[in-house]
Amino acid sequence: MSAWDRLDIRFLPRYSGFMKIRSAMCWLTCAFTTTLALTACESVDIDPSVAERPLPRAGDPVDAELAAAGETVFLRSCVACHDWEKPLVGPALAGVTERRSPEWIRSMVLSPDSMLVTDSVVRTLHGDYPVPMPDLQIGEVRFRAIWEYMRSR
Ligand code: HEC
């Protein structure tokens, strides 16, 4: 008699309603993140030399063309979770250029995963939101455009 013959199906875990819902949630989260990553990959025309410029301060003059490209990137990659006035999946961003330094925002956008581990401000913020901010592979050039857009608001 093999081990399979002795197996009693009553003791096997059931594919219960709870597991169905949990599995559906996993698929939804996965589809959501994939869609975000794919739309983020569509190219926006930005002069790559912007990455070589010094990082502007919040109140510095704005490069309007770069800010417009940044709005496009923001609308594709960030609005799913961020509004300016009210919290959604992530915090409302109004006033963020005053409450955080340019370097801090850069780290948050480029490597949210390590910020969640190393930065106590992000860990505290995260307590209020269901999922952590994902790494959207924004890169320096697109970050510079987003930063210009944030400063222009
Ligand atoms: C899947 C949802 C999601 C997406 C997409 C997302 N964020 Fe976030 N973001 C969050 C959450 C949640 C937090 C709060 C910190 C945490 O829990 O990781 C956050 C925090 C932030 C903060 C800090 C806010 C503060 O009050 O200090 C900034 C800045 C930010 N995100 C910018 C962006 C930008 C720019 C993009 C697009 C490139 C983006 N986020 C895309 C969810 C998201």
Please report the DSSP string for 35-67 in residue order: HHHHHHHS-----GGGGGSPPPPTTSPP-HHHH
* 105 neighbors 138 (Cβ within 8 angstroms): no
pTM of the model: 0.81
Q: What is residue 86's DSSP assignment? A: S
Beta bridge pairs of residue 82? 87
Query: 65 CB contacts (<8 Å, ≥6 apart)?
Result: none
pLDDT of 28: 78
Q: Is the C-beta atom of 150 inside 6 A of ligand 1? A: no
Taking the C-alpha atoms of residue 114 and residue 149, their distance in angstroms, rounded to an integer, is: 24
Task: Give the pLDDT of residue 42.
Answer: 65
Q: What is the rounded CA–CA span in Å between residue 135 and residue 109?
A: 7
Q: Which residues of the chain have pLDDT under 70?
A: 11-15, 18, 26, 37-42
Q: What pLDDT is attached to residue 104?
A: 98
32 lines ligand 1 (CB under 6 A): no
SS3 category, 82: strand
DSSP reduced 3-state for 87: strand
Task: Report the half-sphere exposure of 60 (CA within 13 A, side-chain side).
Answer: 12
Distance of CA 73 to the CA centre of its chain: 12
Q: CA 61, 66, 71, 76 torsion: positive or negative?
A: negative
Q: Is 141 in the pocket of ligand 1 (CB under 6 A)?
A: no
Architecture of the CATH domain 14-152: Orthogonal Bundle (1.10)
If you measure from the C-alpha of residue 87 to the centroid of ligand 1, how many angstroms do you get, rounded to a whole number?
A: 10
Per-residue pLDDT reduced to its tens digit, 116-127 = 999 999 999 999
Query: What is the CA(91)–ligand 1 centre distance, in A?
Result: 7
Find the farthest-apart pair of alpha carbons in the chain and give their distance in angstroms, rounded.
81
> Which atom of ligand 1 is nearest to 142's Cα?
38
Instruction: Note the pLDDT of residue 33.
Output: 73
